[in-house]
Structure 1
Amino acid sequence: MSTVQLGSALSVGLIKSDGPAGTAWLRLSIGALIFLAVARPPLRSIRRRDVPALLGLGVTTGLQTIAFLAAIDRIPLGTCVAIEFLGPLTVAAVRSHSTRALVWPALALAGVVLLTEPWHGSFNPAGVGLAALSGVGWASYILLTQQVGDRFDGITGLSLTVPIAALTAATMGVPQALGHLSFGAIAAAAGLALLLPVLPYALEMLALRGMKPAAFGTLMALEPAFGVLLGLFVLHQTPAPAQILGITLVVIAGAAAQRGGQRQHPAAESADVDLKPCPAPQ
């Protein structure tokens, strides 16, 4: 979570020079090269019925990355992560098959209202809308990742989908970054790609070997809090007392939703978890 949010916070500087889509394209392209070199995906093992999920996951990852980076260019990092977190939290609540579980997305939404403080003039509807779009992307990412994860292991799946995400981001990113590329920008993007997605995914796999998915998902509910902390220490975005209460509500809701939000069939234990942070999107 630290590397994910640190990578997001440090991306703000590159966004200023190369734009959100340009930053997404650079990060995803370098990440794709790393995954291709490490995994060397067996393309012959891809079946025709695998293609829709692979393409869907790749395109979703690319678009979500752009939306998230565009959002943190407009609103504080912690607020953006909390809004985005509504996506996977809702997925977990719906999968519990209990109407009572829907109270957790509602609680998180109340926390988001406290975070965004719409009663103040600083409310940024574009930033909130982009963060919400990223949340929809995260929810879609969970569903698609579980389909891909049932067919390919983690690194192999990423080596197949991250290049598609990079090509998706290139459609907007290349025109946006054109004329602003420099050795410094490429070097910065390479470092950011290691922070996100390469290093977090490796650490996630190691963590999942030693804990159950439910425990992993509960810990991942701290993601918005990490966003606030990294926003404070790296970007000097100091939350107000009401916003601290808001992020607390989001974290509580995320942890509580995990109590009943797991997949019901055995493949879930090895494929993914409901509140897993998407390695590429941010």
Structure 2
Amino acid sequence: MSAAPAGTTASTSPAVGMVVGAAASVQVGAAVASGLFATVGATGATALRLGIAAVVLLAVVRPRVRTWTRRQWRLSVAFGVSLAAMNSAFYLAIERIPLGVAVTCEFLGPLVLSAALTRRARDLVWVVLALLGVLTLGLGGDGAGGDLDLLGVALALVAGAFWAGYVLLSARVGAALPGQSGLAVASVVAGVLVLPAGLAGAGADLLHPAVLGLGLVVALASSVVPYSLELVALRRLPERTFGVLLSLEPGIAALVGFLLLSQALPLPSVAAIAVVVVASAGSTLSARRERDLATHPHVPGG
């Protein structure tokens, strides 16, 4: 998708709000999902989120799978596996640690991937900075006077690793398949993979009308709304601006956790999250500048 032209501040201002709104929507969806844990557990909430999202996407996209090649099927299935693993690990993480902490740890995945793809030693500085931020989170505790649950942190890091895989597969699926057909089929694969664990943990409670209603809210807030907002925003914003705005997500997650889940974090944890936000934004700007210089080698560095 082409970047927005420079010098369009008035037209891009609403798009900035859309990206921030999309990030907030994802985190609100996670907060609502955590409210389901007492009833259906993290695995049940994951099954609801992915299963309902799959139904919505199939109804909207209606992928024509009869003409797909084996490669297209393999990519979509792999995409679904990464989607299932990423969401399962993340929901299990926020069952144990605050939302802001979990998202911050998870951010290490795409950040390390970005540094690896640029293949520049100096980009490792951003990874080291982010890693220091995550390590500092352990000093801040969980905000309730206790230490952070190490299993929760480990699960968030696992979710980050699968997030990195999700990013790579998303690009390949997008190139191999038209529109959102690959995502729709991947969502079905993910839903099928997590359903057994969801049923084992929650059973018939998954079909309770109130639970299904909250599951629909989670699916819409975590998938439909943010995707729609980002799709419009990407048509109006430069790629660099879009990437930097996404780097705010750990901070937004901490704010949503505080406002909706009463997860007040100690000052060291807040500072650590800020460090990860800065590292992510710095990595985004650095990678974008490298691409600009490779495309326009006569443009002087700023």
Would you call these one fold, judging by a TM-score over 0.5? Answer: yes
CA deviations over 1:178-215 (Å, ceiling 9, x no partner) = 04231111111011111011111111111111123222
- Per-residue deviation at 1:159? 1.2
Q: Which residue of 2 aligns with 1:231?
A: 257
Structure 2: gaps (5+ residues): 1-22, 292-302
Instruction: Write the distance in 1 (CA, Å) between the matches of 2:254 and 2:179.
Output: 28
Q: Distance in 2 between matches of 1:236 and 1:129?
A: 23
Q: What amino acid sits opposite 1:48 in the alignment?
A: R
Amino acid at match of 2:51: S
Q: For 1:118 and 1:243, how far apart are their aligned partners in 2? A: 5
Instruction: Confirm whether residue 38 of structure 1 aligns to residue 60 of structure 2.
Output: yes
- Contact 1:96/1:260 (8 A) holds in 2: no
TM-score, scaled to structure 2 = 0.84
Structure 2 match to 1:89:
111
User: What secondary structure does 1:16 align onto?
Assistant: helix
What's the secondary structure of 2:176's corresponding residue?
coil
Aligned AA (1:128): V
Q: CA deviation at 1:118?
A: 7.3
Q: Could you tell which deviates more after superposition, 156-165 or 81-90?
A: 156-165
Change (3 A) 1:96 1:259: farther
Which residues of 2 match residues 20-31 of structure 1 at below 5 A? 20-31=42-53
Report the 3-state secondary structure (helix = DSSP H, G, I; strand = E; otherwise coil) of the residue aligned with 1:180: helix
Secondary structure at 1:258's aligned position in 2?
helix
Give 3-state SS (helix, strand or coil) of 2:241's partner. helix
Matched, 1:192 2:218: yes
- Structure 1: which 5+ residue stretches go unaligned? 266-282
State the partner residue of 2:7. none
Where does residue 268 of structure 1 map in the other structure?
A: none
Q: Over the residues paired in the alignment, what is the CA RMSD in angstroms?
A: 1.8
**Among 110, 113, 118, which residue is 2:132 paired with?**
110
Preserved CA contact (<8 Å) 2:72 2:177: no
Q: How many residues align?
A: 265
Q: 1:122-145 deviations in whole A, cap 9, x for unaligned?
A: 221110111011000101101111
Among 41, 51, 57, which residue is 1:19 paired with?
41
**1:272: which partner in 2?**
none
Q: Secondary structure at the match of 1:195?
A: helix
Distance in 2 separating the partners of 1:232 and 1:53: 38
Q: How does 1:25-174 map to 2 (within 5 A)?
A: 25-117=47-139, 121-174=146-199
| 1:95–1:261 Cα contact (<8 Å) kept | no
CA offset at residue 45 of structure 1? Answer: 3.4
* 1:209 is aligned to 2:235: yes
Cα displacement (A) at 1:121: 4.8
Check 1:165–1:115 CA distance in 2 against 1; reply closer, same or farther (3 A cut): same
The sequence identity of aligned pairs, in percent, is 36
| Partners of 2:146 and 2:213 in 1: CA distance | 38
3-state SS in 2 of match to 1:210: coil
